[in-house]
């Protein structure tokens, strides 16, 4: 038996050479069988796995092992950049075999055998995986941006490295697959499959997925989802307590639990066939718990002897799934020991050949190449989409539209508030986008905490407008999966403060999908978020969160802040069109304090209201993403106020007073905080040479910082001042005004600038 090598004085670690030698020695020592099974027969009594299939899966397992060895070889001379391997998890080849190739899979990072089993050929699989390892620009899913198992051809959706974060999406995908009338990317009988590690199963995102899957099952919603827990007993160095995973997974209501020895190919295959059959037949979720081992440590640089005993390491080595499958095949008389080793060497040679081929391939060469798939936008197409929808609404869709509004078209009902305008725009979206779905906490029967989604459920039914369970991670996960399958999700986050506990679903998942799949997969969505401060009746920080920093630096994310009804409708239509035509991830941040505002200058002036435009005006009033709106007051020559949201209303009021006093200003409503309307704001700033930034978010990390930076970058040379809210959380009651930007501060800032 091969001995464990010593590295410095750190103790024994399992090297690729150890593993290789152990395999050869163990296989050479296998006893020859008495009989011989035909390839078409069961490879062993009591299993449905045939010998022929076992031979194919063995090849996938061998490829997986050799891919690990090749990754470490490439690393040894700095040509490989990823060494987290699949050794010990090769049983997952049998899971691939139990599925249909059209079942979308979101895989754990130890899934090279699954990937190889689903691939068209072993050299193809090896090429895809090793291109990832060497960060080749030719890698077919992430194009060198990430090492991940993914392939649009193989229906393998790439995942991020954030453990468990793909599971809420998997729930959403299963939800979408099972929707009646869904005509998405995958066949109607497809099931979603997602694998993850044992330590990852404890993650908040994973527990959200386990909970919501059970919740849907409990409420009778079809959810064809198979979860695979690949339990090697360790999360890097931390052991999973004995029995914890089985106890935890078994106890999940609504989830059917089964378990198998993941190192035993037939046991894994039989259990997977059974679990897949259940999920496909019943359209209900199940979890398959596979016991695996982890060979060669967590990753290439991991000296696991620092936290494991040699005995523990050896016990895992004894369960090497490759040796187990070799034993199975030799016992069945399908291969002799030398043939096994011959096959092992043949696959090893093929993989090494591919490694040598790909290491010279070009890498991503410049910023433009890196960012190309981040969030490609075609504004003309989005504009065209709006025209197309309007044409339909005016023509063949007119009757349906009238029905949706109960015969009372919003353009005929007089001026509307912001909340009413968003409600009407959502109604139009649901009428013209068959894939549009509106969901979130309290959006259905109640119609939203602020009435923004009122009557939508009555108008379109609870298949399209529905209340979810109270979990923002699940809400965004549903959107992620639904978008992937071709729907147009419009989830609602009830308050901005409550986005934060789920924001990885937006930041880590939604915003990265196009980037890590070179645009092969998209998750279009328009996330409506009620937020910002200044609510009179409902105070305190959590209902008045005034920070958007966490959204502004997400590359590619669209962040819209409509402040008044006349902008809200066209901006929402632009977000919906961009999501539908370009797969954009949009956040539509609605200022709560302006939802029901009617007046601008004086009580009763109704100047904040606006008539709703019918489809005939949708094309002309289109607002492209990233374009600001300027309001000239007086001669518009003395001062430029750059603002957005609640700041717009306050600034317009101050500017009106200044105009009465003979000072002309132009008030710029940014409307879009990501991407900032840089050209517009630089131009408007230059027009007066004096800029007052009115920013209701915090001074530190707030929007104003970005505006100032844009002015500097744009070569603005005039005077600039910034009014921003204090670096504080928002207190309850009237004390809120101490920290928030108010009209007095704006007036003072303006006067100081005008005095220059
Ligand atoms: C959210 C998150 N936290 C931490 C990490 C760092 N990390 C990467 S793998 C890992 C352990 C995962 O263990 P397990 O789920 O059992 O999978 P295994 O590697 O054992 O297959 C950790 C902590 C991460 N990737 N994501
Ligand atoms: Mg583990």
Counting from 1 in the atom list of ligand 1, the atom nearest the Cα of 164 is 1
**293 with 19: CB under 8 angstroms?**
no
Residues lining ligand 1, CB < 6 A? 110, 161-163, 197-200, 203, 232, 234-236, 294, 298
The pair of structure tokens assigned to 363 is: 């890498």
Measured CA to CA, the distance from residue 293 to residue 234 in angstroms comes to 9
Helix (H, G, I), strand (E, B) or coil at 629: strand
- SS3 sequence of 438-496: EEECCCCCCCCCCCCCCCHHHHHCCCCEEECCCCHHHHHHHHHHHHHCCCEEEEEECCH
| Per-residue confidence (pLDDT) for residue 625, from 0 to 100 | 98
| Per-residue confidence (pLDDT) for residue 181, from 0 to 100 | 65
- How many angstroms separate the alpha carbon of residue 199 from the centre of ligand 1? 7
* pLDDT, tens only, 409-437: 999 999 999 999 999 999 999 999 999 99
| Per-residue confidence (pLDDT) for residue 7, from 0 to 100 | 39
| Per-residue confidence (pLDDT) for residue 33, from 0 to 100 | 86
- How many angstroms separate the alpha carbon of residue 670 from the centre of ligand 1? 41
- SS3 sequence of 576-596: HHHHHHHCCEEEEEEEHHHCC
Q: To the nearest whole percent, how much of the chain has pLDDT over 70?
A: 98
The pair of structure tokens assigned to 662 is: 């003979």
Strand 238-239 to 234-235 pairing:
antiparallel
Nearest CA-CA partner of 340 in 26, 3, 16: 26
Does 667 score more than 80 pLDDT?
yes
Does 502 score more than 60 pLDDT?
yes
Region 683-697: mean pLDDT is 98
Phi, psi of 173 (to 5 degrees): -65, -45
The pair of structure tokens assigned to 726 is: 């204090």
Phi, psi of 350 (to 5 degrees): -60, -45
Counting from 1 in the atom list of ligand 1, the atom nearest the Cα of 236 is 11
DSSP structural state of residue 611? P
pTM beyond 0.75, yes or no: yes
- How many angstroms separate the alpha carbon of residue 637 from the centre of ligand 1? 58
| Per-residue confidence (pLDDT) for residue 182, from 0 to 100 | 65
Residue 590: beta bridge partners? 530
Measured CA to CA, the distance from residue 253 to residue 460 in angstroms comes to 31
Cα→Cα distances 504→87, 131, 166, 528, 672, Å: 29, 27, 10, 16, 22
Work out the pLDDT band at 11, boundaries 50, 70, 90.
very low
- How many angstroms separate the alpha carbon of residue 230 from the centre of ligand 2? 7
DSSP structural state of residue 89? -
Cα→Cα distances 489→446, 449, 690, Å: 19, 19, 42
- CB atoms inside a 10 Å sphere around CB 442: 16
Contacts of 400 (CB under 8 A, 6+ apart): 431
Work out the pLDDT band at 706, boundaries 50, 70, 90.
very high
Percent composition of the chain: helix, strand, coil (DSSP 3-state, to 5): 45, 15, 40
| Per-residue confidence (pLDDT) for residue 12, from 0 to 100 | 63
Using CA positions, which residue lies closest to atom 21 of ligand 1? 197
């Amino acid at each position: 038996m091969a001995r464990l090598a010593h590295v410095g004085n750190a103790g024994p670690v399992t090297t690729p050479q150890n593993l290789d030698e152990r395999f050869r020695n163990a296989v050479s020592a296998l006893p020859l069988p008495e009989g011989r099974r035909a390839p078409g027969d069961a490879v062993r009594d009591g299993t449905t796995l045939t010998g022929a299939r076992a031979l194919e899966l063995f090849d996938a397992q061998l490829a997986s092992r050799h891919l690990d060895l090749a990754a470490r070889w490439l690393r040894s001379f700095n040509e490989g950049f990823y060494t987290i391997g699949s050794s010990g998890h090769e049983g997952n080849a049998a899971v691939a075999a139990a599925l249909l190739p059209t079942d979308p899979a979101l895989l754990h990072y130890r899934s090279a055998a699954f990937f190889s089993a689903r691939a068209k050929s072993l050299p193809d699989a090896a090429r895809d995986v090793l291109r990832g390892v060497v960060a080749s620009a030719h890698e077919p899913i992430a194009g060198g941006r990430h090492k991940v198992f993914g392939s649009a051809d193989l229906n393998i959706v790439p995942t991020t490295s954030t453990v468990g974060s793909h599971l809420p999406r998997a729930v959403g995908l299963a939800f979408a697959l099972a929707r009646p009338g869904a005509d998405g990317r995958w066949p109607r009988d497809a099931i979603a499959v997602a694998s993850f590690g044992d330590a990852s199963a404890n993650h908040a995102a994973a527990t959200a997925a386990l909970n919501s899957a059970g919740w849907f099952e409990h409420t009778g919603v079809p959810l064809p989802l198979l979860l695979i827990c690949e339990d090697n007993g360790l999360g890097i160095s931390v052991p999973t307590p004995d029995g914890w995973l089985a106890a935890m997974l078994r106890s999940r209501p609504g989830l059917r639990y089964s378990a198998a020895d993941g190192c035993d190919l037939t046991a894994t295959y039989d259990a997977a066939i059974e679990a897949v059959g259940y999920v496909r037949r019943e359209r209900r979720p199940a979890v398959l718990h596979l016991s695996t081992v982890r060979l060669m440590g967590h990753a290439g640089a991991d000296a696991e002897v620092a936290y494991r005993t040699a005995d523990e390491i050896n016990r895992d080595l004894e369960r090497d799934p490759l040796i187990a499958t070799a034993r199975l095949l030799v016992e069945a008389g399908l291969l002799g020991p030398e043939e096994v080793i011959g096959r092992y060497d043949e696959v090893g040679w093929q993989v090494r050949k591919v490694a040598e081929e790909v290491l010279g391939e070009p890498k991503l060469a410049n910023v433009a190449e890196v960012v190309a798939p981040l969030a490609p936008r075609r504004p003309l197409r989005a504009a065209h989409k709006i025209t197309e929808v309007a044409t339909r609404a005016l023509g063949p869709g007119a009757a349906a539209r009238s029905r949706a509004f109960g015969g009372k078209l919003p353009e005929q009902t007089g001026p509307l508030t912001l909340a009413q305008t968003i409600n009407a725009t959502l109604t139009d979206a649901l009428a013209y986008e068959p894939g549009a779905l509106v969901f979130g906490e309290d959006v259905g029967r109640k119609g939203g905490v602020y009435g923004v989604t009122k009557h939508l459920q009555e108008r379109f039914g609870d298949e399209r407008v529905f209340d979810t369970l109270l979990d923002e991670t699940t809400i965004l996960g549903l959107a992620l999966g639904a978008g992937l399958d071709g729907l147009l999700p419009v989830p609602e986050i009830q308050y901005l403060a409550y986005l934060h506990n789920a924001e990885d679903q937006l930041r880590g998942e939604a915003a990265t999908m196009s980037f890590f799949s070179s645009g092969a997969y998209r998750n279009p969505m328009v996330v409506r978020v009620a937020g910002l401060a200044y609510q009179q009746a409902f105070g305190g920080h959590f209902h008045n969160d005034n920070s958007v920093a966490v959204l502004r630096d997400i590359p590619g994310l669209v962040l819209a802040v409509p402040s008044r009804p006349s902008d809200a409708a066209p901006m929402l239509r632009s977000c919906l069109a961009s999501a539908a035509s370009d797969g954009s991830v949009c956040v539509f941040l609605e200022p709560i304090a302006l939802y029901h505002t009617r007046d601008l200058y004086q009580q009763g002036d109704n100047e904040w209201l606006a008539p709703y435009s019918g489809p005939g005006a949708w094309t002309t009033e289109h607002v492209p993403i990233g374009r600001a709106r300027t309001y000239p007051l007086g001669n518009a020559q003395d001062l430029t106020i750059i603002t957005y949201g609640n700041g717009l209303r306050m600034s317009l009021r101050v500017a009106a007073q200044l105009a009465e006093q003979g000072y002309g200003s132009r008030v710029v409503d940014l409307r879009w905080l990501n991407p900032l309307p840089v050209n517009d704001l630089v131009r408007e700033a230059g027009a007066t040479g004096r800029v007052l930034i009115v920013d209701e978010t915090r001074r530190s990390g707030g929007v104003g910082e970005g505006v100032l930076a844009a002015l500097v970058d744009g070569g603005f040379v005039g005077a600039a001042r910034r009014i921003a809210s204090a670096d504080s959380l928002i207190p309850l009651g009237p004390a809120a005004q101490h920290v928030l930007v108010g009209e007095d501060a704006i007036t003072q800032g303006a006067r100081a600038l005008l005095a220059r």
